[in-house]
Amino acid sequence: MIRFKPLPEDIEQRLPLAAAYLRSHPGVFFAYLFGGLARGERRPLSDVDIAVYLAGSVTADVKLDILGKLIDILGTDEIDLVILNTAPPLLAMNVLRKKQVMADNNPAMRHRFESLAFKKYFDFLPVELGMLTKRVANG
């Protein structure tokens, strides 16, 4: 979230509880832990980065329900919850670079998502590089 408060000292012990919740949630196809905690790089103002791919339509209520339960389980509101269904290619690739699978309720859907995410990223990469080159050239 905002990274104003340190994470609970026992956050690593709470992550399996969050994973169990995500595995039991009927609306979660799969979920990843990513970012600093997934890389084992906990810092004083780290947050918890979790990405989920949801079944059905993604609504604010569904996201808030999942986020609220994760806050209760993890004992912190310093959670960045990414909905992969609508994530742009660069964010999806950031998640996939250093991920830990927390829930895999639909392995075929997860593999399909990962394949498509890589394809979209590499299709978009020339556009991103062009924008970056233009930005550097224009100061």
Write out pLDDT tens, residues 102-116. 999 999 999 999 999
Query: What pLDDT does residue 29 have?
Result: 98
5 within 8 A of 75, measured Cβ to Cβ: no
Domain boundaries, the chain: 11-137
Q: Flag whether pLDDT at 2 surpasses 70.
A: no
What is the model's pLDDT at position 106?
Answer: 98
What pLDDT shows up at residue 3?
60
Give residue-wise pLDDT tens across range 31-73. Answer: 999 999 999 988 888 899 999 999 988 999 999 999 999 999 9
Identity of the amino acid at 15: L
Question: What's the angle, vertex CA 98, arms to CA 31 and CA 66, rounded to 5?
Answer: 25
Q: Which of 49-53, 82-86, 117-121 has the lowest mean pLDDT?
A: 117-121
Average pLDDT in the 98-105 region?
97
Which class for 69: exposed (0-12), middle (13-18), buried (19 or more C-beta within 10 A)?
middle
Model confidence, pTM: 0.86
Please name the CATH architecture into which domain 11-137 falls: 2-Layer Sandwich (3.30)
